[in-house]
Amino acid sequence: MASTGKQVDGNYPTVRVTKNVTVHPKSLHPPKIIHLSNLDRQCPMLMYVVFFYKASYAYRNLSLDSVFNSLKSGLEETLSIWYPAAGRMSLNQGDCKLNLWCNNGGAVLVEAITSAQIVELGDLSQYNEFFERLTYKPAFQGNLSEMPLLVAQVTRFGCGGYSIGIGTSHSLFDGPATYDFLRAWASNSAILKEKRSTQLYKPVHERGSLLVGNHQGLTELPERGSSATRAAAIDHLYQLIKQAMAAQNFDGSRNLPNIGNSNLVLRTFHLSGAMIESLKSKVFGDRRGSFSCSSFELVATHLWKARTKALGARKGAMVCLQFAVDVRNKMVPQLPKGFSGNAFVLASVALTAEELKNESHEATVEKLKAAKNSISNEYVIAYNQALDGGAQGSLPPINELTLVSDWTRMPLHTIDFLHGYAAYVSPLLSPMPQVAYFMQNPNDLRAIDVRIGLPPQSLNAFSHYFLTNLH
């Protein structure tokens, strides 16, 4: 488990669970199997976020029991449409791959109380081990088919505020689909507000053209040796693995260039809108008006340079930046509106550490844009099929690989389970804590909050390199 650099055991009151129920869809669906794509199978574990709602005058006559019952009723209604979330994983005995068994098994909803005050938690944007107590963690005995795909815990604080900790299987929905699901649930719960429809499109759960193999879907790639499009992200990853193995053989296993999961420190860096504009001015100067560059592209470039330098990659080593790209509109034909599965592939840029250090931000941004523009229908096919038959799950972190996931288009804090926006929505420790998550800040819509896991010995160096030129 990654470290936070902050021990909280004993510092906060206990969190006591008072209810634990299984929630089934209001309208049951006939049991069915939904075949998953290779994109879905990469991370079947639960991903958690915690919504914080500070005490409000509007809550003065609101009981925890009424909040729990409203969330339960709203979830029952939402699961009637988003019915895979009430299912379980199923292992295909033929090809040993995971699929969704839509069996109405139900989600888990937990009620809890604590005498802790939200204000005692300090800066909610900074990860705190206490946050893990605000989510329900089902016991995992090694059998994914027994694990719920959706769990949630509503906790009332001593100050009258609330948290809602939610875990969803990444094999179930990707980020945008999870955002739509949570908005629908909040709307259907109708706590301190009128019930309203937020569903623009009915969710489409079948994976369709993203399927490969024996199921109707993706067109097969041409034979090897042809001029078929290759997935750069997969090729670069294999090159990084070979580089790491070569370094291991040269230096011995004690010096394997792998930063590991066990000692990463999770930190959030707040880049205000003014800081991002300052960086743009320093990078592009008078040419700023003629150079098109998004905040994401510039901050991702800046982070890649800072992380690579802080982790001390050797000059001649290959270093790589990979970032998620939504392919809903890249496919031919496009994926249907409301597609709920995983529809992201990784774009990839590779350089030597020395090249990355020496070239300008502008030149690196151009490479990011080119990588993003290279994502086509053919790239998605190549990427998806490259995963077919390979090991499912995530690799351990590698110094030379920087991963970025952009959440700024998902303003999670605007999901009003209770009265008004959340004070903050904090992602918890993920199976890949080294990934840098770009998130919207509730108090500055032009800002980017960057949550990243770093080795403790590199934290100060990264902070220095990353925050340089931002003031």
Task: List, in sequence order, every beta strand (DSSP E) within 170-326.
Answer: 265-271, 318-326
Strand, coil or helix: what is 282? Answer: helix
Quick one: tokens of 401?
Answer: 């690989």
Whose tokens are 């100050």? That residue is 159
Quick one: tokens of 333?
Answer: 């034909």
Identity (one letter) of the amino acid at 347? Answer: A
What is the number of other CB atoms lying within 10 angstroms of the CB of residue 65?
Answer: 12
Looking at residue 27, what DSSP letter applies? S
The candidate with the shortest Cα–Cα distance to 300, out of 322, 270, 275, 274, is 322
- For the CA atoms of the chain, what is the radius of gyration? 23
The candidate with the shortest Cα–Cα distance to 172, out of 185, 181, 160, is 181
**H or E stretch covering 152:** strand 150-156
CA distance 134 to 428: 10
CA distance 31 to 123: 45
Dihedral sign from CA coordinates of 267, 343, 402, 273: negative
Pairing of strands 88-91, 46-53: unpaired
Whose tokens are 């900074």? That residue is 126
What distances in angstroms separate CA 197 from CA 71, 93, 177, 402, one per listed residue?
16, 41, 16, 39
431 upstream amide cis, omega within 30 of 0:
no
Q: Which residues are catalytic?
A: 170
Pairing of strands 150-156, 107-114: parallel
Quick one: tokens of 260?
Answer: 């590991």
Strand, coil or helix: what is 401? Answer: strand
Q: What is the dihedral of CA 65, 67, 73, 77, to 10 degrees?
A: -160
Identity (one letter) of the amino acid at 398? Answer: I
Pairing of strands 318-326, 401-406: parallel
